[in-house]
Structure 1
Amino acid sequence: MDTHRKDLYPDVTASGGLGPAMKAAAELRGCDIGLPPWATDVISIETARGYVSVHPATDERRFRMRVLIPGFTWETSGFSWEIGSTGDLGLLVEAVAAWRQGMPLDELAARFEFLELDEFSGALDRGEPTSSQWSDLLSSASHRRQWNLLGRLHADEVLRNMFPTITHGAVRLRVDLLDGTSRQVLVHEVDGERYEVMRVGMPGAAWVEVPTGDLITCLRAALNEQ
């Protein structure tokens, strides 16, 4: 850490890096921020609602908090948001802990005034991350083998609202793009006429062959189960 940064972040320097400083601040406040024990300066925390990262500013004391939607293709770069910044490390770790715990966005905005969630919430409400992900997958040459299946799924008015990713050659559809544990299915195209489906997270989950004519109905039912 350079001299300028030392002046701005003496607590971080004294702790041996941003990671140890955040862990110390969290322990002091009884927060669980889920920070890996090896974290030092580059802070990225995986949560069920995205990857939360913290970046110290260089021109003033500011800890910038960003969120990246989980599962976005490497081609996508437009849906990583800076959702606020503060010079108070203790307040920052409390906000990270609340985010990890799933506090609703409106409650987060009310409790932590430094968070700016209007643009983030608006993009989610408009379905922008999901539509962008579909577009990227359908145009990515690296996923050419899945184009036929992706096109068929996207053509359905219900399934196109699910968040898609590619996992080991299969298409994964998830109900909530911010929740990696929400209802989801894997779909594998065996050939042009045969498909296999797995309901992820279900007891005894296994691949089940589904006739072509029943594929869309099967997926809709699996993703809409309560």
Structure 2
Amino acid sequence: METHRKDLYPDMTASGGLGPAMKEAATLRGCDIGLSPWDTDVVRIETARGFVSVDPATDERLFRVGVHIPGFTWEIGATDDLGLLVEAVAAWREGMPFEELEERFEFMDLEELARALEAGEPTSLQWSDLLSSDFYRGQWNLLRRLHADEVLRNMFPIVTHGAVRLRVDPLDTTSRQVLVHELDGERYEVMRAGVPGAAWVEVSAGDLIASVRAALHEQ
């Protein structure tokens, strides 16, 4: 760690890195920030509302906070107060509404993120990116079938291991989601992800959309 950074972040230096410093600060304030034991200088925390990252600036004491979902990143604020930082991360993990977060933590600015979610931008842009990227050419047929449906095009799509994952809420990794895998253009497999005991169910092309819709609405 560089000398000027040691001067800017004595708490990090004393703790052995950003991760340990955040964990100590969270313990002192009774916060649960969900930080992995192996996180040191690079902090990326998985939450039900995307990944939260914390990046210390090098030219001034400032902890920059970002939120990430596949393909998208928003900067949501920065503070020089480590205690305030961990309280904000804990509140984000607990699902505190955006309005309350901005009221309680003045350094947070969620306007851009909220506006994007309200406009459906992450979802529509993600569809556009997947359908125009040669990297996902092998999934284009399936993606087009799903996107053609007026309900399914509002689900957030992710391509994983050759299958398409549709998620109800782009920011909520725990929201209802379905995996769809194309077998040969006329046969598909559908599975409700995240449900204990869930298994692939083979369906025909004619039954695909109805099957995916039904799986997404299962409780």
- Same fold by TM (over 0.5)? yes
Asked if residue 63 in structure 1 is aligned to residue 63 in structure 2, the reply is yes
Aligned: 1:101 with 2:115: no
Determine if the alignment matches structure 1 residue 52 to structure 2 residue 82: no
- Structure 1: how far apart are the matches of 2:13 and 2:194? 43
Q: 2:64, 2:78 within 8 Å by CA — same for their partners in 1?
A: yes
| Partner in structure 2 of residue 34 of structure 1 | 34
Shift in Å at residue 134 of structure 1?
1.0
CA distance in 2, matches of 1:85, 1:155: 41
Aligned pairs, number: 219
* Structure-1 separation of matches of 2:107 and 2:141: 45
Q: Once the 2 structures are TM-superposed, how far is the Cα of residue 15 of structure 1 from its aligned partner?
A: 1.3
Q: 1:200 aligned to 190, 193, 197, which one?
A: 193
- Measured against aligned partners, the alpha-carbon deviations of 1:92-122 in whole angstroms (never above 9, x if no partner) come to 0011111112222222112211100011110
Q: Which runs of 4+ in 1 moved over 4 A?
A: none
User: 1:24 offset after TM fit, Å?
Assistant: 0.5
Structure 2 portions without partners, runs of 5+: none
Corresponding position of 1:111: 104
Q: Secondary structure at the match of 1:36?
A: coil
- Note the alpha carbon deviations across 1:133-177, whole angstroms, 9 max, x for none: 111211222221110010111111111110111122111101011
Q: Partners in 2 of 1:47 and 1:68 — Cα distance?
A: 10
1:84 aligned counterpart, secondary structure: strand
For residues 16 and 190 of structure 1, what CA distance do their matches in structure 2 show? 50
**TM-score when scaled to structure 1?**
0.92
Aligned to 2:12: 12
What TM-score comes out, normalization by structure 2 length?
0.95
Unmatched 5+ stretches in structure 1: none
Task: Give the partner amino acid of 1:39.
Answer: D
Question: Could you say what the CA RMSD is over the residues aligned between the two structures, in angstroms?
Answer: 1.3
Worse overlay, 195-204 or 157-166: 195-204
SS at match of 1:219: helix
2:115 corresponds to which residue? 122
Partner of 2:205: 212
